[in-house]
Structure formats: structure tokens, C-alpha cells
Structure 1
Amino acid sequence: MRLSWGLRSAAIVDTAFILLKTEPGRERDVYSSLTDISEVVETHALYGEYDLLALVECDSSRELTSLLMQKMRQIDGVKETETLIAVDY
């Protein structure tokens, strides 16, 4: 069975991991802002290419898109995000 784009966009996402790069010195501010977002289940500081990791839970890809575009990427100090969507085997 092949899903049309319209059906696929409403599919359940459940869990995603969002990697964030921040402006230098803004890690704590961004971390604090992430903890205020209801869809963010966990937030972790990282060493390496990315500065923060947020575990999020969303009911649909549309909700995930809204979370990223209207909330997470609008936080002052966020330079870049990368989204990893968890799947079941």
C-alpha cells in the first residue's frame, strides 16, 4: 500500500531527537528555553559538533514541523538544528 503525501504528513511521529548548535556562550540560555517547551521531554548538553540534544514527542509530522519552525528555531542563540526521527523495527 502506498500512502499519498497528504496521508503521510499526518502520520504519527512519536519520538525525535533534535541536535542543536548554539551561538558561543548561549548554551545555557537555549537549554533553559528548551525546558519550557511542552513537547521537549529531555534536554542534554553535549561536547562535540552539537551543543545540545532535545528529545521531543509529537503526534504528527505537522506538529514536529511546527515545533521546529515556530518554537525551537526561534529561540535566541539557536544557529542550526538537525532532526533525527526515531523508528520502530
Structure 2
Amino acid sequence: YSYKQLFFSGMRIGRDHIASTVYTLLFTYAGAALPTLLLIVLADRPTGFILSSEAISQEIVRTLVGSIGLVLAVPITTILAAVLAEKTS
């Protein structure tokens, strides 16, 4: 297999893994923050106030950072794997 074939094959599989892992991260963070989210929602505050609160902002940033890390990790590791696999064959 050529480098190009290995890379595109790895990326096709990597996209599926990214999608499922991002959803898992989102639900994990939401589940961990559920008590905080319930307290904020039950406080009868405006939506803008709730979205700008520290707890909500923190969960949004955690989800984004984790997702960005995953999205960057897959192409980088796919490139490395394709280069190493091509050299050994």
C-alpha cells in the first residue's frame, strides 16, 4: 500500500472514531455537571445569565478542548502510522 492509500484509509476510520468519542465526551461532561446544571436551571435566571455562568462556561470549554484534541490527534497519528507502515513494507 502507498502512503496515500494508508493515510486516507486511516482517516476514514478515524472520522468514525472521532464522532463517537466526541459524543461520549459531551454526555460524560453533561452527566458529571448534571447537579450543577439542575441548580442553575431551577434558579429561574435568564438564559443569557445561565450561559455566561462559570459552571456552564467551564463545561463548554472542557467539551471544546477535548473535542479539538481528538480532532487533531487523529490526523497526526494517522500520518505517523502511514509513514511508519510505508517504511517497513
Determine if the TM-score, normalized by the shorter chain, exceeds 0.5. Answer: no
Instruction: Choose 1 or 2 for highest CA Rg.
Output: 2
Which structure shows the higher helix fraction? 2
TM-score normalised to the size of structure 2?
A: 0.33
Higher relative contact order (CA 8 A, sep 6+): 2
